[in-house]
């Protein structure tokens, strides 16, 4: 059975270019990039080529890119490393109530260490405004972290408006952005955005799991979270996973034209929304400003877990929210104050460049069959 894989915000299939690159690195270019011999030098060249490729994706200088094991580690390094470096200037931080679990957990750790954290709740339109963020800033605010695209609802937050406003309201604050769900799908130019720290992850854009990157603006200091080596200019100790990183670079090189990809996503979204017209049993959770490749919906009366298994048996793969939540009730949808029946029946559909209209049709057919045949929960 051919899969209709519509869970691309959880992870993506590794592209052939990345597979080929990782295989080559493991077979032919397996050296430690810190070694002072020909095999090590070859690995170092591959490492730095990948750094240039990732930097180009973000409009950054290569020396501002630090490789990590993924988005979670990069978020932890940015948030904990940033706040702890600046704690003499203040111990107040600002984020949102709908961030990824790795961001939320890092702020909880800061609170355990005596920092204050203000978590902003999106408005009725699902968005966060610059006015909200600046109203939360204080003279002792040292860190502001706002995601670019929400991983469950697809809300796109206006960082191009928020960041200049924060610069005026709290010029001493570091500004971090989790761009894991945006990189490779939306154009990102870190220098014009004027962000201090920005996180991306390889496996969300067709690279293998186990590699990510943190952009660190030149001149920004972070307290390292990993100790014991001088790799990554002493910012992240440990031998770099060169096969994964080189594959990350190859996946970035293989990304399609963003405008063509966006048009493809909008065709898929249109197909889905057209197919849901008149389906009163389905409730869409669509923010006013949302990307076209993430859709959140609920089917009250049918539990998410039941729906997931039903669709999976028919070769249709979706999720009930963030994969990192592992089936737990969505903190994002809870923060948005959705009714319990909608949270308990929520599904997230997320597209990639390889999805087709047939995938959407199979999802729609599966939802209709589920509604017609499964027992409804009151």
Residues recognised as catalytic: 324
Whole-angstrom CA distances from 347 to 48, 179, 317 are 40, 22, 10
Please state, in angstroms and rounded to a whole number, the distance separating the CA atoms of residues 296 and 346: 7
What token pair was written down for 327? 């089936």
Q: Whose structure tokens read 């355990």?
A: 112
Q: What is the DSSP letter of 95?
A: E
- 183, β-bridge pairs: 186
Long-range contacts at 28-36 (CB < 8 A, ≥ 24 apart):
29/242, 29/246, 30/243, 31/242, 32/239, 33/239, 33/240, 33/242, 34/231, 34/239
What is the SS3 assignment for 125?
Answer: coil
What is the SS3 assignment for 188?
Answer: coil
Signed CA dihedral, 126, 127, 132, 138: sign only: positive
Short-list 246, 198, 197, 199, CA closest to 53: 246
Please state, in angstroms and rounded to a whole number, the distance separating the CA atoms of residues 83 and 173: 9
Please state, in angstroms and rounded to a whole number, the distance separating the CA atoms of residues 238 and 215: 18
Please, are residues 107 and 139 in contact by the beta-carbon 8 Å criterion? no
| Cβ-based neighbours of 65, under 8 Å, separated by 6 or more | 51, 54, 55, 58, 213, 214, 215, 216
């Amino acid at each position: 059975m051919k899969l209709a894989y519509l869970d691309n915000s959880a992870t993506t299939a590794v592209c052939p270019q990345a597979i080929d690159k990782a295989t080559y690195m493991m077979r032919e270019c397996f050296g430690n990039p810190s070694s002072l011999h020909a095999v090590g030098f070859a690995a170092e060249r591959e490492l730095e080529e990948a750094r240039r490729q990732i930097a180009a994706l973000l409009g950054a200088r290569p020396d501002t890119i630090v490789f990590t094991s993924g988005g979670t580690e990069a978020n932890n390094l940015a948030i904990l490393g940033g706040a702890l470096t600046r704690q003499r200037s203040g111990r107040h931080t600002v984020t949102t109530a709908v961030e990824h679990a790795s961001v939320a957990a890092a702020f909880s750790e800061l609170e355990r260490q005596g920092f204050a954290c203000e978590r902003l709740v999106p408005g009725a339109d699902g968005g966060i405004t610059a006015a909200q963020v600046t109203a939360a800033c204080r003279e002792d605010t040292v860190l502001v972290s706002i995601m670019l695209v929400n991983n469950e609802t697809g809300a796109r937050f206006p960082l191009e408006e928020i960041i200049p406003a924060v610069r005026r309201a709290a010029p001493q604050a570091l500004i971090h952005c989790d761009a894991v769900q945006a990189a490779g799908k939306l154009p990102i130019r870190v220098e014009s955005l004027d962000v201090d720290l920005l996180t991306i992850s390889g496996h969300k854009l067709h690279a293998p799991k186990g590699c990510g990157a943190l952009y660190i603006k030149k001149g920004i200091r972070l307290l390292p979270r990993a100790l014991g080596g001088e790799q990554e200019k002493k910012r992240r100790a440990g031998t770099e996973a060169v096969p994964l990183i080189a594959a990350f670079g190859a996946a970035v090189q293989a990304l399609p034209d963003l405008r063509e990809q966006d048009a493809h996503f909008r065709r898929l979204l249109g197909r889905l929304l057209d197919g849901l017209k008149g389906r009163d049993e389905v409730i869409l959770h669509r923010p006013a400003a949302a990307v076209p490749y993430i859709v959140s919906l609920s089917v009250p009366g049918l539990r998410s877990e039941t729906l997931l298994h039903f669709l999976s048996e028919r070769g249709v793969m979706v999720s009930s929210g963030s994969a990192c939540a592992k089936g737990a009730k969505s903190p994002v949808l809870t923060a948005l104050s959705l009714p319990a029946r909608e949270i308990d029946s929520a599904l997230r559909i997320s597209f990639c460049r390889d999805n087709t209209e047939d995938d959407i049709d199979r999802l729609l057919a599966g939802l209709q069959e589920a509604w017609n045949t499964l027992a409804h929960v009151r």
